[in-house]
């Protein structure tokens, strides 16, 4: 069982299909000085929502506040030391911490494939130059409740404006109303396939975990919560700053709805098939969320709305891609046990929790592009940014995918992949199920999605936030006496050394250090230390 | 690895018998993968690319100068492409050894390739002892130098057997064919016939047919010169080299050597059969150099992490057999992906120069192009542009071979 009262609620709550809050705001902050940052975190700390707190409320009620810190903030607060200390014990090959330290902007063009119109140089100014220090994620199911929360947050921010806390950017997302609820701008239900996490205290839906012989095995909690055993049985990020936290990837993705509809229309017309079918083949699901593997010919809204069935499928019976094409978005990004794909053992290492919400007005059906900005505020939760989010983006969306049918450089994710600049080579094959019918090939795929910005954040546990706010120093070694040494193959300390050998991290600006260090034994993460 | 391994338990008996037999037969001679194809006409053996690995001794105190040449961004030892070369690479190990590895269709092609690049290759090899005075221009001297410095290749894996010119032709053919498939959309019957006539008239398809008829012969002199250029580029969306040198536990060397030799000689495709499960691996070679160093060199598509994970998840058992005897190999084997990555990173050797004849083409493209070329040639012979039911048959052809088009 996870320490759900420690884990922030946007890590493991309200992410599954049909549960996500309808109104979300992201408030991006910059800190000028450590004092103001600590003060703000201390002040916000009691308001931050944990998974446990969400569980205590009636379903779909109340508002939620979550806090994420980017690496520049940790450096400013002087706890970059803890991050550096982690470098040594962390597995260098995975590069887990490196992604977080470098930030999304630095890795965008090389790793994430953000080139041309998506290149960081064209991003919105707030996301460039490492300005972002923190993000406040506010969400609610009812708009008025979000408004009330925002007022409280604004009042707190106003207090700290004098201490150098600056609101530099904000993003507002909102699900569509009525029957379009839960859909993104292209018109498809979003966030259907979500991982089932062991110990998260949620009832699992079939299809969420890793396919086993007759069932689905939940994913290890360490894939999403730091300091927990992950799929390879290791515990990474066991130090106090990280334990019970997670990493959050934020990406603002602009969707070119007019372009998408026109393209699908054109392909359908050229090949005499319905445009809806073309669009569904690109995605791998129907607008309702019903998967093509289970509903190959037409949409099945009842199936799409049933969380117990809409994700319960495998690709073993679709080895030729006749139902769901090999290159379809859902088949690329979560290949399950696909016999032509990378297989179960790899797929389970690359799962993410997604929480995307649309921004901008919906383009009414049949209307030409009105030039207004619209898209998706995409959030991914994962424990290892490089192994999970970046790997999927780099390998499965923008490149080769270890597949026996897809190949680089032409075959990329048709929906959100960054197509080759020439555009002439990007294509998408829809295999035909009949011997007398040629496959449909969608040629010259344009970019339907443009990246407008993004950043990586750490979502610390509630205790870690408290400690940061109160400037409680941590030792560099994590809780060295536990059995949970961060690195499995390194000799664990035989006995607890007195921590005196390692001076606590200097917090020169904090006069209260002497007082707080006295409190350390009673207040800390993961309970008592030896 | 373990005795319960299904692949090997079944073959354990055969393996043991053949191991003894081959050890007896080959006693005294050094059983390596031969850089020279077997004489044609007598059984032939498996056709396809050959390889050699050359290890030259860097003269004492000259490593730094050599390094300066290798690090010079303007210096490219493989600038000029040559007939029959698939991939070539160059790297140094320690301060003593310079390695040159090449995959080619014929040994003479390799020598010719070096001679063509004499100016730049000489700049590197002149730091090595035994290199001919006149450099690569002196073909006889070069040949003697290569033969005198060969390293035994214990295991050689090839994902395709076709000669380089054929692969190039097939890739071009596939491009033309895809263009044809695109153009035919919405075309009338008459236009379709015209397009098809155009396609079959094209040199690519015509020559492909000729080439396929002449497999194994020295045909295709009509190939344009620029077709053979090697592209010296690496990166994502490209074919990349991987080189690894790891120390083997002394007491395990003999066993490992036997295992690798079985794979090559007794035609028990130990690693080889398994490697075919990797959809991104073009070539792989394993040698044991010195007394106890395992040298692994491969050519793969795309991202390194994806490649490593393929190792650990698709062919874990076989990889454990080959790398298992190395010092520092993870206890849980390659299934422990994180530790396995760390092992590979720790023992990886920087490849100083790498070139290939089709670096922007993936293995799947090459394989599907070759398959498509054969199918298309058959189709071309059966249906001329005026065939009454050409459109129907074309549709059936596309449906039948749709997986080759992705």
Report ipTM (2 d.p.): 0.83
The answer to whether the Cβ–Cβ distance between B360 and A409 falls below 8 Å is: yes
pLDDT at A14: 93
A435/B396 Cβ within 8 A: yes
DSSP state letter for A112: I
pLDDT at A185: 97
Of A243-252, A305-314, A513-522, the range with the lowest mean pLDDT is A513-522
- How many of the other CB atoms lie within 10 Å of CB of B94? 9
Facing residue for B405 by CB, picked from A349, A429, A489: A429
A322-366 confidence digits (pLDDT tens): 999 999 999 999 999 988 888 888 899 999 999 999 999 999 998
Specify the pLDDT at position A516: 37
Find, in chain A, the residue whose alpha carbon is nearest to that of B342: A93
A203 Cβ under 8 Å from any chain B Cβ:
no
The kind and range of the H/E element at A428 are strand A428-430
CB A199 within 8 A of CB A359: no
Residue A40: what pLDDT?
Answer: 97
The model's confidence at residue B322, banded by pLDDT at 50, 70 and 90, is: confident
Q: Under an 8 A CB cutoff, do A432 and B402 touch?
A: yes
Closest-CA distance of chain B to residue A335, Å: 14
CB contact under 8 Å between B364 and A405, yes or no, is yes
Dump pLDDT digits (tens) for B92-120: 999 999 999 999 999 999 999 999 999 99
pLDDT at residue B57 tops 60 = yes
Q: Which residues on B lie below 8 Å from A345 (Cβ)?
A: 312-313, 335
pLDDT at residue B255 above 80?
yes
Average pLDDT over residues A498-509: 36
Q: How many CB atoms lie within 10 A of CB B252?
A: 15
Question: Is the predicted pLDDT of residue B135 greater than 70, yes or no?
Answer: yes
Q: If you average pLDDT over every residue of chain A, what do you get?
A: 85
> CB-CB: which of B314, B364, B399 is closest to A407?
B364
Inter-chain contact A271–B185, Cβ cutoff 8 Å?
A: yes
Kindly state whether B276 is in contact with chain A, defined as any CB-CB distance less than 8 angstroms.
Answer: no
Which chain A residues contact residue B336 at CB under 8 A? 232
**Stretch 120-149 of chain A: residues touching chain B, C-beta under 8 Å:** none
For residue B203, pLDDT beyond 90: no
What's residue A391's pLDDT? 92
Q: Is the pLDDT of residue B15 over 50?
A: yes
Q: Looking at residues A465-469, what average pLDDT do you find?
A: 93
- Is the CB of A343 inside 8 Å of chain B's CB atoms? yes
Given a cut of 50, whether residue A442 has pLDDT beyond it is: yes
Query: Would you state the pLDDT for residue A236?
Result: 80
Is A400's CB within 8 Å of B310's CB? Answer: no
pLDDT at B264: 53
Residue B236 near chain A (CB below 8 Å): yes
pLDDT (0 to 100) of residue A497: 32
Question: Is the pLDDT score of A482 beyond 50?
Answer: no
Q: Which of A401, A405, A424 to mutate to test the interface with B (most CBs of B within 10 A)?
A: A405
CB-based contact, B301 to chain A, within 8 Å? yes
- Of A77-86, A376-385, B201-210, the least confident: B201-210
Evaluate the CA torsion angle B200, B203, B204, B210 in order and state its sign.
positive
Confidence check: pLDDT of B335 > 60: yes
Structural contact between residues B181 and A429, judged by C-beta atoms closer than 8 angstroms: no
A91, A342, A431 member nearest B402 (Cβ) = A431
Selected for mutation to probe chain A from B306, B314, B328, B367 (highest A CB count within 10 Å) is B306
What's residue A488's pLDDT?
33
pLDDT for residue A518 is more than 60: no
Position A477 scores a pLDDT of 46
Do the chains contact at B338 and A399, CB–CB below 8 Å? no
- Inter-chain residue contact B406 with A443, CB threshold 8 Å: no
Residue A274 CB partners (closer than 8 Å, separation 6+):
A268
Residue with more model confidence, B99 or B32: B99
Nearest to A118 by CA among A413, A344, A421, A350: A421
How does the average pLDDT of chain B come out, rounded? Answer: 81
Does residue A115 register a pLDDT over 50? yes
Cα nearest neighbour of B302 on chain A: A400
Please report the pLDDT score of residue A165 as a whole number.
96
From A92-96, A272-276, B392-396, the region with the lowest mean pLDDT: A92-96
Which of A253, A100, A270, A232 shows the shortest CA–CA distance to A186?
Answer: A253
C-alpha torsion sign, points B219, B223, B226, B229? negative
Pairing of strands B239-247, B281-289: unpaired
Cβ-Cβ contacts under 8 Å, A437 against chain B: 395, 399
User: What pLDDT shows up at residue B313?
Assistant: 82
pLDDT digits (tens, 9 = 90+) for B62-78: 999 999 999 988 888 88
Predicted confidence at residue B280, as pLDDT, reads: 85
Interface of A with B in 386-405 (CB under 8 A): 391, 394-395, 399-400, 402-405
Contact flag B280-A349 (C-beta cutoff 8 Å) = no
- What integer pLDDT is reported at residue B28 of this predicted model? 42
Cβ-Cβ contacts under 8 Å for A277 (sequence gap 6 or more): A268
Does residue A223 surpass a pLDDT of 90? yes
B contacts of A92 (beta carbons < 8 Å): 342, 345
Residue in this structure with the two tokens 């390659």, named with its chain if needed: B334
Counting one residue from chain A and one from chain B, the pairs whose CB atoms sit within 8 A come to: 119
Q: What is the mean pLDDT of residues A161-181?
A: 95
Q: Which of A38, A260, A405, A251 has the alpha carbon at shortest distance from B363?
A: A405
Segment holding A97, helix H or strand E? helix A96-102
CB contacts of A394 in chain B (<8 Å) are 236, 303
> CA nearest A270 in B: which residue?
B186
With contact defined as beta carbons under 8 Å apart, do B304 and B348 qualify?
Answer: no
Q: What is the dihedral of CA A356, A362, A364, A368, to 10 degrees?
A: -100
Interchain contact B175–A (C-beta under 8 A): no
Strand partners, A428: A442
Using CB atoms, pick whichever of B186, B237, B279 lies closest to residue A399.
B237
Judge whether residue A4 has pLDDT over 90: yes
- The set of residues, in sequence order, having a beta carbon less than 8 Å from that of A333 and lying 6+ positions away, is A392, A396, A397, A413
What pLDDT is recorded for position A480? 41
Q: What local confidence, expressed as pLDDT, does residue A487 receive?
A: 38
Closest-CA residue in chain B for A420? B237
Is A320 within 8 Å of chain B by CB? yes
Query: Is there a contact between A409 and B237 if contact means CB atoms under 8 Å apart?
Result: yes
Q: Residue A377 pairs with which residues in a beta bridge?
A: A252, A357
Q: What is the pLDDT of residue B21?
A: 53
Contact between chains at B402 and A92 (C-beta distance less than 8 A): no
Q: For residues A359 and A173, give the distance between their C-alpha atoms in angstroms, rounded to a whole number.
A: 5
Q: Do A399 and B345 touch (CB under 8 A)?
A: no
> What are the φ/ψ torsions at residue B355 (nearest 5 degrees)?
-145, 155
Contacts of B396 in chain A (CB under 8 A): 435-436
A390-438 residue pLDDT tens: 999 998 998 866 777 777 666 889 999 988 776 556 789 999 999 999 9
């Amino acid at each position: 069982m996870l320490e759900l009262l420690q884990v922030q609620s946007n890590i493991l709550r309200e992410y599954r299909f049909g549960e996500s809050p309808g109104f979300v705001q992201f408030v991006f902050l910059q800190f000028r000085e450590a004092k103001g940052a600590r003060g703000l975190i201390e002040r916000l700390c009691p308001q931050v929502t944990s998974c446990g707190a969400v569980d205590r409320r009636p379903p779909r009620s109340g508002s939620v506040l979550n806090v994420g810190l980017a690496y520049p903030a940790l450096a400013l607060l002087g706890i970059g030391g803890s991050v550096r200390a982690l470098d040594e014990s962390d597995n260098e090959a995975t590069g887990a911490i490196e992604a977080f330290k470098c930030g999304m902007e630095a890795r965008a063009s090389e790793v994430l494939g953000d080139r041309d119109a998506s290149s960081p140089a064209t991003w919105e100014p707030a996301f460039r130059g490492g300005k972002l220090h923190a993000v406040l994620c506010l969400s609610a199911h009812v708009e008025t409740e979000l408004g009330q929360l925002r007022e409280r947050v604004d009042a707190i921010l106003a207090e700290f404006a004098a201490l150098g806390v600056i609101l530099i950017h904000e993003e507002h997302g909102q699900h569509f109303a009525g029957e379009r609820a839960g859909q993104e701008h292209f018109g498809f239900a979003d966030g259907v396939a979500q991982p089932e996490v062991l110990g998260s205290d949620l009832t699992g839906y079939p299809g969420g975990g890793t396919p086993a012989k007759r069932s689905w095995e939940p994913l290890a909690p360490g894939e999403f919560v730091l300091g927990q055993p992950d799929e390879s049985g290791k515990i990474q990020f066991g130090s106090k700053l990280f334990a019970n936290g997670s990493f959050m990837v934020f990406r603002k993705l602009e969707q070119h709805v007019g372009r998408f509809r026109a393209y699908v229309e054109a392909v359908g017309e050229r090949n005499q098939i319905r445009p809806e079918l073309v669009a569904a083949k690109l995605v791998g699901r129907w607008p309702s969320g019903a998967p093509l593997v289970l509903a190959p010919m037409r949409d099945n809204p009842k199936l799409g709305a049933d969380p117990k069935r809409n994700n319960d499928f495998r690709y073993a019976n679709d080895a030729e891609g006749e139902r769901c094409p090999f290159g379809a978005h859902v088949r690329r990004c979560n290949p399950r046990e696909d016999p032509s794909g990378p297989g179960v053992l790899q797929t389970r290492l690359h799962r993410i929790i997604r929480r995307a919400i649309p921004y901008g007005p919906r383009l009414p059906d049949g209307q030409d592009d009105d030039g207004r900005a619209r898209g998706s505020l995409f959030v991914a939760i994962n424990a290892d940014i490089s192994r999970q989010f970046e790997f999927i983006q780099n390998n499965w969306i923008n490149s080769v995918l270890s597949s026996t049918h897809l190949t680089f450089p032409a075959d990329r994710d048709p929906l959100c992949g960054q197509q080759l600049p020439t555009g002439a080579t990007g294509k998408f094959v829809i295999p035909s199920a009949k011997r007398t019918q040629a496959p449909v090939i969608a040629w010259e795929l344009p970019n339907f999605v443009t990246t407008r910005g993004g950043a990586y954040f750490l979502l610390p546990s509630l205790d870690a936030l408290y400690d940061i706010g109160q400037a409680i120093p941590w030792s560099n070694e994590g809780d060295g006496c536990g059995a949970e040494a961060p690195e499995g193959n390194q000799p664990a300390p035989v006995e607890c050394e007195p921590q005196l050998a390692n001076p606590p991290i200097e917090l020169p600006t904090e006069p209260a250090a002497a007082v707080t260090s006295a409190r350390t034994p009673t207040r800390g993460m993961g309970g008592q230390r030896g | 690895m373990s005795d319960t391994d299904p692949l090997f338990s079944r073959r354990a008996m055969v393996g043991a018998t053949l191991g003894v037999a081959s050890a007896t037969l080959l006693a005294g001679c050094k059983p390596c993968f031969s850089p020279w194809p077997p004489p044609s006409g007598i059984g032939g053996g498996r056709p396809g690319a050959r390889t050699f690995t050359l290890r030259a001794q860097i003269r004492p105190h000259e490593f730094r100068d050599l390094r300066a040449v290798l690090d010079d961004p303007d210096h490219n030892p493989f600038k000029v492409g040559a007939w029959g070369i698939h991939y070539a690479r160059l790297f140094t190990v320690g301060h003593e050894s310079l390695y040159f590895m090449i995959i080619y269709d014929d040994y003479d092609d390799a020598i010719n390739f070096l001679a063509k690049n004499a100016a730049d290759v000489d700049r590197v090899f002149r730091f090595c002892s035994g290199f001919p005075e006149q450099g690569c221009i002196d073909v006889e001297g070069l040949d003697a130098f290569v033969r005198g410095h060969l390293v035994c290749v214990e295991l050689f894996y090839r994902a395709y057997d076709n000669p380089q010119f054929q692969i190039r032709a097939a890739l071009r053919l596939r491009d033309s064919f895809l263009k044809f498939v695109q153009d035919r959309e919405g075309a009338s019957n008459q236009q379709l016939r015209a397009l098809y006539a155009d396609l079959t008239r094209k040199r690519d398809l015509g020559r492909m047919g000729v080439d396929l008829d002449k497999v194994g012969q020295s045909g295709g002199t009509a190939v344009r010169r620029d077709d053979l250029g090697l592209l010296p580029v690496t990166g994502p969306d490209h074919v990349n080299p991987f080189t690894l040198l790891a120390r083997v536990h002394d007491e395990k060397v003999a066993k490992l050597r036997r295992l690798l030799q079985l794979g090559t000689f007794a035609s028990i495709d130990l690693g080889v059969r398994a490697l075919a499960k990797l959809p991104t691996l073009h070539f792989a070679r394993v040698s044991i150099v010195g007394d106890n160093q395992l040298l692994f060199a491969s050519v793969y598509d795309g991202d390194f992490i994806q490649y490593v994970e393929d190792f650990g998840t698709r062919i874990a058992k076989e990889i454990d057999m080959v790398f298992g005897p190395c010092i520092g190999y993870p206890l849980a084997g390659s299934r422990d992906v994180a530790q396995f990555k760390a092992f590979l990173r720790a023992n990886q050797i920087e490849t100083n120069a790498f070139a290939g004849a089709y670096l922007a083409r993936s293995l799947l493209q090459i394989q599907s192009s070759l398959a498509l070329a054969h199918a298309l040639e058959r189709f071309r012979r059966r249906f001329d542009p005026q065939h009454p039911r050409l459109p129907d048959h074309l549709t059936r052809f596309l449906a039948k071979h749709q997986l080759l088009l992705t």
